[in-house]
Amino acid sequence: MPYALQPIWNIAHICHKQGIENVIISPGSRSAPLTLAFVRHKNLKCKVVADERSAAFIALGIAQQTNKPVVLICTSGSAAYNYAPAIAEAYFQQIPLLVLTADRPPEWIDQFDGQTIRQTNIYGKHVKESYTLPVDLSHQDAVWHVERTISEAINLAKTYPAAPVHINAPFREPFYPPVENQEEEDINNYYENQVKYDIDVKIIEQIHSRPKIGTHYWEELLEVWNKTEKKLIVGGQMRYNERLISALNGLEITVVADVISNLHIVKNSIQHQDVFLMNREDLEELRPELLITFGKSVISKNLKKFLREYPAIEHWHIQPAGIAADTFQSLTKVIPLNPSYFFRKVLEKQTPFADSYRQSFFVDNWRGMDAEIKKLNAQFFEKQPFSEFEAVKKLMRMLPKSCNFHLANSMSVRYANYLNLDKDANKEIEIFSNRGTSGIDGSTSTAIGNAIADDETLNILLTGDVAFFYDRNGFWNDYLPKNLIVILLNNHGGGIFKMLPDAAKQPESDEFFVIKQPLNAESLSKEFELEYNFCEDKNGLKNALENLELDVEKRNRITILEVKTNIEMNTKVFQDYKKAVKFLEVD
């Protein structure tokens, strides 16, 4: 007798034929047809993660690293809702996920049936599209419907800008292929041959082309470029891109590089803008005439404030396709090109300035301020008591020549942006951070997903205690990678609310914002059999960092280095730092 859910079984084969490799599954009964279809496919790597929220962030991390869609499978009801934080993050980070949620058939919605909620369009506008598969698969048109929907969903997830796509699959019982009485020694062979994938499943392949613009548009852009002296380039969050970096290195233009832009190695990059823009009132000499941006979000609040208060005459944003965000409220042109292509073309066609004095003065102003903050960062902590800010500085200076560096949200990513990486060190470090929605949920799970996907590269996660303990279930799986080191800054509270002046002055601050907690990572490390180290002063940190095993081949499990600090002292050191910046004399 033919298997009634054969078209569902074939979904796994369509995914394989479309180039998908990784699948993250959370256990459930209603999703059994999908689970069995994917698990029994020999060309798919399936992993089971019980906690759906963590599962979705692990999938995000894998997709983030591989630049390929990852399949997520869960059962019906609230399980599907637990995917939502990671789906929203993936949407704004432009990361492709194929989300398959099992569901009750439509007649049982709102009838108090178990694990039944309204799953149609459950993720709203945080997915590119949401599909619902037919319940009755007996007609050939229904089979065609399933097959074309899967291809369409995968193609849509991959098309720029990449994003999650949701497929809701309602099932009636029975969910499992029929099992006949079999001899024990024959049972494995029986299951292997019980249901086969149709080799002639429908595949719709989408051919992608490179975006281009006409010659006359190039002439207009180059005319403005060549006559404008005060040009400023700002990169948002993006992957490390050698071709882009090479093109930018050929331009004598100021490049503002947030830590998550992965432009730290650009020779003309400005790396401390978030610091030197924070307390200055008259910034007219830094105002650009032409602002060129690319990438996604920018961390620096002070940079955003500056560019909104001192808008450029023209602002071009470069991206291959889609609607561009007007982050700085000055957007005048959206250029549908890959940034690396645009800057290589400009490098070929730009002409020397007739009078480069204004351009040189503009560049020197930016570089002079950046150099002063770099000098301050090198000296400031010598006479300061131990703090988490200093711990981040020492960590960032000891990073190996090549690694993936993950930054959790809240103060971790902000400290890293104030300090940034040393561009003169010529290190091939790629930075990752969940800055799509900028939430603390899922930072650990995302780093674990990255490390699983790239098991030959060392991954280092810098995280705070609230983010760390919030996502403790990231360690609750059987695939913990040995190539991950977690640096945990534990001040036993949400320290960022001590550093926001208005928040800190509220009488309810300590109880309702700081989230004081007594936890440490030692018991968690024992529970999940992780390597654990601890320090709480300058010498302890120095020794702990020096003793970290950075050679992936010599590692055998995740390492957690817990750095204990005092929340009040952290606040004082940070406030002293801001005062030091305010009184800096910049030539």
Residue 137 has pLDDT above 60, yes or no: yes
Residue 187 has pLDDT above 60, yes or no: no
Confidence of residue 174 (pLDDT cuts 50, 70, 90): confident
- pLDDT at 360 (0 to 100): 79
What are the residues whose beta carbons fall under 8 Å from the beta carbon of 16, sequence distance 6 or more? 41, 43, 44
Separation between Cα atoms, residue 261 and residue 240, nearest integer Å = 8
The total of other beta-carbon atoms located within 10 Å of residue 19's CB is: 11
Greater pLDDT, 295 or 190: 295
What kind and span of H or E run contains 167?
strand 165-170
Confidence of residue 355 (pLDDT cuts 50, 70, 90): very low
- pLDDT at 514 (0 to 100): 63
| 436-439 contacts at long range (C-beta below 8 A, 24 or more positions apart) | 436/88, 436/89, 436/90, 436/91, 436/92, 436/93, 436/296, 436/297, 437/85, 437/88, 437/89, 437/92, 438/297, 438/409, 439/85, 439/89, 439/409
Taking residues 352-379, report their average pLDDT.
Answer: 82
- Asked whether 49 and 26 are in contact (CB, 8 A), the reply is yes
Helix, strand or coil for residue 65?
helix
Between the CA of residue 114 and those of 76, 103, 461, 472, what are the distances in Å? Answer: 9, 11, 39, 28
For domain 384-582, give its CATH number from 3.40.50.300, 3.40.50.1220, 3.90.1330.10, 3.40.50.970.
3.40.50.970
- pLDDT at 359 (0 to 100): 67
Between the CA of residue 246 and those of 240, 317, 339, 351, what are the distances in Å? Answer: 11, 19, 12, 19
- pLDDT at 511 (0 to 100): 64
What are residue 407's DSSP bridge partners? 433, 462
Residue 191 has pLDDT above 60, yes or no: no
Helix, strand or coil for residue 213?
coil
Single-letter code of the amino acid located at 352: P
Separation between Cα atoms, residue 402 and residue 456, nearest integer Å = 11
CATH topology match: 215-374 vs 384-582: yes
Helix, strand or coil for residue 226?
helix
**Residue 142 backbone phi and psi in degrees, to 5:** -70, -40
Confidence of residue 587 (pLDDT cuts 50, 70, 90): very low
Residue 149 has pLDDT above 90, yes or no: yes
Greater pLDDT, 182 or 237: 237
CA 28-34-38 angle, to 5 degrees, is: 115
What kind and span of H or E run contains 376?
helix 357-379
Greater pLDDT, 187 or 478: 478
Q: Could you read off the pLDDT of 480-539 as tens digits, one per residue?
A: 999 999 999 999 876 666 666 666 667 766 666 667 778 999 999 999 999 999 999 999
Domain covering 215-374: architecture: 3-Layer(aba) Sandwich (3.40)
Query: Where do the DSSP E strands lie in 33-83?
Result: 45-48, 70-74
Taking residues 114-138, report their average pLDDT.
Answer: 93
Separation between Cα atoms, residue 233 and residue 223, nearest integer Å = 17
Separation between Cα atoms, residue 334 and residue 327, nearest integer Å = 13
Q: In this structure, what token pair is assigned to residue 162?
A: 């990449």
Distance of alpha carbon 132 from the chain centroid: 28
Confidence of residue 350 (pLDDT cuts 50, 70, 90): confident
Instruction: Break the chain into its structural domains and give their ranges.
Output: 6-174, 215-374, 384-582
Residue with the two structure tokens 């720029």: 160
- pLDDT at 555 (0 to 100): 97
Distance of alpha carbon 342 from the chain centroid: 25
**Residue 504 backbone phi and psi in degrees, to 5:** -65, -25
Taking residues 88-95, report their average pLDDT.
Answer: 98
Which residue in 108, 146, 129, 130 sits closest to 30, CA to CA? 108
Sheet holding 333-335, edge to edge: 269-270, 254-257, 231-235, 290-294, 314-318, 333-335
Taking residues 43-55, report their average pLDDT.
Answer: 97
- Burial code (b: 16+ CB inside 10 Å, e: under 16) for 397-407 equals eebbeebbbbb
- The whole-model pTM stands at 0.93
Helix, strand or coil for residue 70?
strand
| 359-373, 400-414, 501-515, 563-577: least confidently modelled range | 501-515
- Dihedral, CA of residue 439, residue 444, residue 449 and residue 453, to nearest 10: 120
Residue 413 has pLDDT above 80, yes or no: yes
Separation between Cα atoms, residue 344 and residue 249, nearest integer Å = 10
Where does 6-174 sit in CATH, by number? 3.40.50.970
Separation between Cα atoms, residue 515 and residue 566, nearest integer Å = 14
Confidence of residue 259 (pLDDT cuts 50, 70, 90): very high
- pLDDT at 308 (0 to 100): 97
Half-sphere exposure of 394 (CA within 13 A, CB side): 21
Average pLDDT score over the chain:
91
Residue 1 has pLDDT above 50, yes or no: no
**Percent residues over pLDDT 70 in the chain:** 92
Find out whether the peptide bond into 161 is cis, omega within 30 degrees of 0.
Answer: yes
Residue 190 has pLDDT above 70, yes or no: no
Residue 310 has pLDDT above 60, yes or no: yes
- pLDDT at 465 (0 to 100): 94
As to burial, measured by CB atoms within 10 angstroms (0-12 exposed, 13-18 middle, 19+ buried), residue 47 is middle
Half-sphere exposure of 345 (CA within 13 A, CB side): 16
Taking residues 562-569, report their average pLDDT.
Answer: 95
Greater pLDDT, 423 or 215: 215
- Burial code (b: 16+ CB inside 10 Å, e: under 16) for 258-278 equals bbbbbbbbbebbbbbbbbbbb
Residue 185 has pLDDT above 70, yes or no: no
Taking residues 81-103, report their average pLDDT.
Answer: 97
- Asked whether 429 and 37 are in contact (CB, 8 A), the reply is no
Separation between Cα atoms, residue 566 and residue 495, nearest integer Å = 9
